[in-house]
Chains A and B, each alone.
Chain A
Amino acid sequence: AQSVTQLDSHVSVSEGTPVLLRCNYSSSYSPSLFWYVQHPNKGLQLLLKYTSAATLVKGINGFEAEFKKSETSFHLTKPSAHMSDAAEYFCVVSDRPSGGSYIPTFGRGTSLIVHP
């Protein structure tokens, strides 16, 4: 079984300061990991993904995440927050038991608030 925990339901930062959104996962297999962003009343957009290649993954809009197997973590970071980054962020773990299709499991989401 797989699961994902987003450690903060809300994160508040000032514009221009670093962003850290935390995610821990568990999986019985070699998982793929994803971060999605959702702006109000919109669908989800992929920010970045880890699929067993480089452990430091760069995504869109200056975001990146590091896969740490020993810590079972996949935290999302950005050096400098922008007002447009204010949104809901979802961490997703996806593995493929018995060689079948991947079935993703979503975290509960972290709301990023950016103050001017």
Chain B
Amino acid sequence: SQTIHQWPATLVQPVGSPLSLECTVEGTSNPNLYWYRQAAGRGLQLLFYSVGIGQISSEVPQNLSASRPQDRQFILSSKKLLLSDSGFYLCAWDTGTANTGELFFGEGSRLTVL
């Protein structure tokens, strides 16, 4: 069966420090991968999605970047965090070119920037 792992679950970082959140999917090949952010009391904001290795689409210009070094690995990064980067980050995947629109989510990473 397919599983998705996302880590770390909780992170407290000072302003100006770097960030790396990792997500891996097991049990499937060629998935589409997504990073969403959920600010307090707000809905989900799509940050990045990827349809293949090295292929990243950015939905919102900002302080963050994403990379997909392997088929089932998706990394969210920042060189210098801002206070406004605080939030709940969710990684998700779907079945790629044969997808139906259904997403499968990780458990999320809570980032607090102080």
Contacts of B97 in A (CB 8 A): 101
Quick one: given A34-B101, A101-B97, A102-B101, are A43 and B108 in contact (CB under 8 Å)? yes
Task: Map CB proximity to B onto A85-116 as digits: 1 under 8 Å, 0 otherwise.
Answer: 00000101011100001111011110000000
B43 beta carbon closer than 8 Å to chain A: yes
Task: Find out whether the CB atom of B102 lies under 8 angstroms from the CB atom of A34.
Answer: yes
Quick one: given A101-B32, A108-B43, are A42 and B101 in contact (CB under 8 Å)? no
Which residues of B6-34 are within 8 A (CB) of A? 6, 32
Nearest CB on A from B48, distance (A): 12
Quick one: given A49-B102, A102-B99, are A44 and B90 in contact (CB under 8 Å)? yes
Contacts of B46 in A (CB 8 A): 106
Residue pairs across A and B with CB atoms within 8 Å: the count is: 63
Task: Map CB proximity to A onto B87-102 as digits: 1 under 8 Å, 0 otherwise.
Answer: 0101010101101111
Contact of B44 among A41, A42, A106 (CB under 8 A): A106
Residue with the highest number of chain A CB atoms closer than 10 Å, among B44, B101, B102: B101
Nearest CB on A from B8, distance (A): 13
Task: Map CB proximity to B onto A19-52 as digits: 1 under 8 Å, 0 otherwise.
Answer: 0000000000001101010000111111001010
Task: Find out whether the CB atom of B102 lies under 8 angstroms from the CB atom of A43.
Answer: no
B51 beta carbon closer than 8 Å to chain A: yes
Contacts of A106 in B (CB 8 A): 36, 43-44, 46
Contacts of B107 in A (CB 8 A): 42-43
Contact of A51 among B96, B100, B103 (CB under 8 A): B100
A46 to B93, CA, bound (A): 13
A residues within 8 Å of B by Cβ?
31-32, 34, 36, 41-46, 49, 51, 90, 92, 94-96, 101-104, 106-109
Q: Known contacts A32-B102, A90-B43; can you find 15 more A-B pairs with CB under 8 A?
A: A34-B102, A43-B108, A44-B92, A46-B102, A46-B103, A46-B104, A49-B100, A94-B100, A101-B51, A101-B94, A101-B97, A102-B100, A106-B43, A106-B44, A109-B44
Closest 8 CB pairs of A and B: A94-B101, A108-B43, A43-B105, A102-B101, A32-B101, A44-B105, A106-B44, A109-B43
